[in-house]
Amino acid sequence: MKKLFVFLLIFIAAGAKAQLSGGFESNSSYYVDDSKIKLEQIEAQNRLRSNSYLRLDYKYKHFTTGIQLESYVPKALLNYSPNLKEAGLGSYYVNYKNDSIGLDITAGHFYEQFGSGLVLRTWEDRQLGIANSIAGGRVKYAPFKSVQITALYGKQRNGLGFDFTAGSVFGLNTEFELSTLFKARKISYGLGLSYVNRNEKTDFNALPPSTFLTSIRGNVKKGGFTADAEYAFKSKDALVEFGNVRPELQFDGSAYLLNIGYSRKGLGINTSFRRLENFAAYSQRNLSGNVFNEGFVNYIPSLTKQYDYSLGNIYVYPAQSNLSFEPDRNKAGEIGGQLDVIYQFKKNTPLGGKYGTNVSINFAQWHGLKGIYDAAQRKYEADLLGFSEKYYRELSLEVRKKWNPKLASVFTYLNQYYNTRFVEEAVGEVNANTVIVENTLKVGKANSIRWELQHQWADGGFKNWAASQLEFNLKSNWSFFAIDLYNYGNDNANKKIHYYNIGLAYKQGAARVQANYGRQRGGLICVGGVCRFVPESAGLNLGVNLVF
């Protein structure tokens, strides 16, 4: 804190030409019990809950300093980590950046990603309760335009700004834009190398404190073709079972990633292949597999399409990177891939019509790793290219069509297979078909109506759902909406619930206020393949945000 004051005082002394910017966000809920949905007794003591964030950045010449204040008073919203409590400094930093000498130095909290994030990513996602910035020091140096070197060291945030996980993290990353270096024309290629070391001392003599992750990756691009490949390795670390570190059982891990794409005007194709084996990394061992997403060092997104529609998010596949032993349910990772094709039918053709038609197709399929598993002995040997149980499969088709200057539609069809037994480590499996139609009608010059109709047929899990959303937008400032998700097919009569919501939002420039009343479906809220579990709830929600 004292250091922060000193920096601030320097800036005050420096005076003019400085600039302040910031943002404020607050989300509050008042939870109620209604005929179908009730808060759990232990949660019912705090019906009013609020998460608020105030970020302030102050820039003067090459220096920027900033803080983020966070408040979880009287209590954080339902099912955020218990480490997010009370109010105080969430993060703070001082940065010096001078592009003319290629230098960027940060002391305090920082966010960083090496390559695709397979070996290191720190980021903030308030909806998921993720804020795993590293507090310490980071230096980025670009000796030439085509080379970038990053070195960092620190402790990872877990809770507020002075709460850290037990381990420390050291990272070194280099990116080489080789084609720039060799002055290549019409082709571009590059290389990246990363090293990350997590150091956490334990009382176990058999367990070395350090575990490292390395990554080597390359990319090439010529004309419409792109390709990139990455191999990453994790050194031996103890198996963690239900939060218990097992120093006598140590396993290493690996990741292979390959992407190939082709695109030209009107056509885009991308394919991805990935194999993960025991590749989760945490800055504190016993956080392995924790439900609040705390202590992540690396980022392992599920490589499937991400949906904005509510019924597209009932069965969401999270990447399976952990190692776990259980008779008939051994898991060491995942293997699979996805394919995307996007095509535009031209204007004034039979399928294109007057305005053109856009079609997107996605296919994704993921399996467990085939191999020999011995759950009793905690031993396994996985094949490099072997597919065992199917964890997830999806096929989706999206068609966008503009009918006339006023009316546009989006049709989505989604076919899913979801292996609940392996993905959630529960029972059963689900085959689901979902159809979604969205229409937007422009009324007058600045008003519009948006209407969504969704239906899901499923043979397991929650069974059938129907959903609809109606939205009126007035003069681009006001929005009024009503949503209903109805789980009419649920086998349990008490769970045939209408999850309705009505609300309004007002926005003006950089300010936005939203209020809604209704029910929240329980389940996973997922952003970018990382999910947070929320229990179902009912109540009034108020959100405010402002940027300045």
Residues 166-205 that bind other proteins (CB under 8 A): 177, 179, 188, 190
Q: Which of 31, 80, 307, 462 binds other proteins (CB under 8 A)?
A: 307
Closest CA to 47 of 71, 77, 81, 79: 77
Please report the beta strands in 303-427, taking only residues with DSSP state E, as ranges in sequence order. Answer: 333-345, 357-374, 379-402, 407-418
The residue whose two tokens read 């899901």 is 456
Residue type at 144?
F
109 binds other proteins (CB under 8 A): no
Q: Does 97 bind other proteins (CB under 8 A)?
A: yes
The span from the CA of 434 to the CA of 456, in Å, is 4
> What is the closest distance, in whole angstroms, from the C-beta atom of residue 97 to other proteins in the complex?
7
Q: What token pair was written down for 410?
A: 């989006």
Q: How far is the CB of 495 from other proteins (least distance, A)?
A: 28
By the rule CB under 8 A, 370 interacts with other proteins: no
Can you tell me which of 37, 39, 69, 382 binds other proteins, judged by CB under 8 A?
A: 69
**Binding residue for other proteins, selected from 273, 529, 534, 542, defined by CB under 8 A:** 529
Instruction: Determine if 303 is a binding residue for other proteins (CB under 8 A).
Output: yes
Coil vs helix vs strand at 450: strand
- Asked if 1 interacts with other proteins (CB under 8 A), we say yes
Binding positions for other proteins, 488-527, rule CB under 8 A: 505, 507, 509-510, 512
For residue 428, the minimal CB distance to other proteins (Å) is 26
Q: For residues 397 and 412, is the Cβ–Cβ distance under 8 A?
A: yes
408 touching other proteins, by CB under 8 A:
yes
**Rounded Cα–Cα distance for residues 163 and 83 (Å):** 9
Type of residue found at 279: F
145 binding other proteins? (CB under 8 A): yes
Task: Supply the minimum distance, in Å, between the C-beta of residue 339 and other proteins.
Answer: 10
Q: How far is the CB of 372 from other proteins (least distance, A)?
A: 31
360 binds other proteins (CB under 8 A): yes
| Cβ burial, residue 141 (10 Å; 0-12/13-18/19+) | middle
Part of the chain binding other proteins (CB under 8 A), chosen from 111-119, 193-201, 389-397, 495-503: 111-119
* Site stretch for other proteins (CB under 8 A), options 289-297, 321-329, 423-431, 444-452: 444-452
Query: Is 99 among the residues that bind other proteins (CB under 8 A)?
Result: yes
| Burial of residue 391 (number of CB atoms within 10 Å: 0-12, 13-18, 19+) | buried
Distance, in Å, from the CA atom of 467 to the CA atom of 151, rounded to the nearest integer, reads 49
Q: How far is CA 188 from the centre of its chain?
A: 29
Q: What is the DSSP string of 486-532?
A: E-TT-SSGGG--EEEEEEEEEEETTEEEEEEEEEE--EEEEETTEEE
Give buried/exposed letters for 230-254 (b at 16+ CB in 10 A, else e). bebebbebbbbbeeebebebebebb
Residue 438 binds other proteins, judged by CB under 8 A: yes
Does 116 participate in binding other proteins (rule CB under 8 A)?
Answer: yes
Q: For 218-283, give the DSSP string.
A: EEEEETTEEEEEEEEEEEEEEEEETTEEEEEEEEEEEEEEEEEEEEETTEEEEEEEEEEES---BS
Considering only the stretches 9-17, 37-45, 457-465, 517-525, report the one whose residues sit in contact with other proteins under the rule CB under 8 A: 9-17
Q: Quick check: 89 binds other proteins (CB under 8 A)?
A: yes
Contact call for residue 85 and other proteins (CB under 8 A): no
Asked if 237 interacts with other proteins (CB under 8 A), we say: no
> Measured between alpha carbons, how far is residue 525 from residues 121, 461, 531, 532 in Å?
20, 17, 5, 5
Beta bridge partners of 334: 276
Query: Rounded to an integer, what distance in angstroms lies between the CA atom of residue 309 and that of residue 467?
Result: 10
Q: Of 282-290, 326-334, 369-377, 435-443, which segment contacts other proteins by CB under 8 A? A: 435-443
* Binding track, positions 36-55, relative to other proteins; x by CB under 8 A: ------------------xx
Among 44, 184, 351, 446, binds other proteins (CB under 8 A): 446
Looking at beta carbons only, is 352 or 489 nearer to other proteins? 352
Query: CA-CA distance, 125 to 81, in Å (whole number)?
Result: 13
- Mark the segment that binds other proteins (CB under 8 A) among 118-126, 166-174, 203-211, 277-285: 118-126
From 210, 235, 448, 490, residue interacting with other proteins (rule: CB under 8 A): 448
Total of chain residues touching other proteins, rule CB under 8 A: 102
Residue with smaller CB distance to other proteins, 175 or 200: 175
Q: Which of 44, 384, 437, 547 binds other proteins (CB under 8 A)?
A: 547
Q: Is residue 542 at the binding interface for other proteins, with CB under 8 A as the rule?
A: no
Rule CB under 8 A: which of 150-169 touch other proteins? Answer: none
Give the residue with the Cβ less far from other proteins, 329 or 450. 450
State yes or no: residue 20 binds other proteins (CB under 8 A).
yes
Q: Measuring CA to CA, how many Å separate 152 from each of 199, 237, 280, 511?
A: 14, 22, 20, 36
Distance in angstroms (rounded) separating the CA atoms of residues 435 and 413: 5
Tokens of 239: 């198996």
Residue 224 interacting with other proteins (CB under 8 A):
yes
C-alpha distance from residue 389 to each of 277, 325, 335, 368 (Å): 15, 15, 10, 5
Q: Does 305 bind other proteins (CB under 8 A)?
A: yes
Residues 463-492, mask of contacts with other proteins (x by CB under 8 A): ----------x--x--x-------------
Question: Which CB atom, from 32 or from 470, has the smaller least distance to other proteins?
Answer: 470
57 touches other proteins (CB under 8 A): yes
Tokens of 448: 């519009």
212 binds other proteins (CB under 8 A): no
Both tokens assigned to 265: 């005007």
Task: Give me the half-sphere count of Cα atoms (radius 13 Å) on the Cβ side of residue 47.
Answer: 10
Q: Is 270 in the site for other proteins (CB under 8 A)?
A: yes
Rule CB under 8 A: choose which of 43, 163, 241, 340 binds other proteins.
340
Nearer to other proteins, 268 or 460 (CB): 268
